[in-house]
Amino acid sequence: MRLPDEPDLPAQINIVPMIDVIFAILTFFIMSTLFLTRSEGLPVNLPKAASAQQQASSEPINVTVDATGKISVNRQQVDLNVLSAQVRTLMADKQEALVIINADERVSHGQVVAVMDNLRQVQGAKLAIATQKP
């Protein structure tokens, strides 16, 4: 029951919960767009080459040699001895497959040559070396 001499309280809209919801949605969209980028290999510092060309292939096989010399095939660490068998398994029924070597610029030349030599034993594997434009 209200007394006649009480003034009416003005209506108030509290916008703090709305701002919290907007920031939560904004954070969701920012985080989800960060995961939309497709990373094909492990993060390494690629050497620079001015004559680099884009290779067209449906689904390349990525072989990564990081700065410490560890070898990975499609983000799964493997030993040099089983590298060719792993690539053969990934090729399955395909006659040819593009194998992209992502070698860190600090890896020794001998390590990269050993990986390339091992991959050349795979029938139908077309080798490419990943670089970045200077």
Averaged pLDDT score across all residues of the chain: 83
Summarised one tens digit per residue, pLDDT across range 17-66 is 899 999 999 999 988 887 776 555 666 676 777 766 665 556 888 999 99
The answer regarding whether domain 61-129 maps to CATH 3.40.1160.10 reads no
Locate 117 and state its tokens.
């030599």
Q: Give the closest residue to 107 by CA, choosing from 75, 64, 56.
A: 64
Summarised one tens digit per residue, pLDDT across range 6-15 is 777 777 888 8
Confidence class of residue 92 from pLDDT cuts 50, 70 and 90?
A: confident
Q: Evaluate whether 72 touches 101 at the Cβ level (below 8 Å).
A: no
Show me where the domains of the chain are located: 61-129
Angle at 61 between CA 60 and CA 67, to 5 degrees: 125
Locate 107 and state its tokens.
């890896």
Contacts of 3 (CB under 8 A, 6+ apart): none
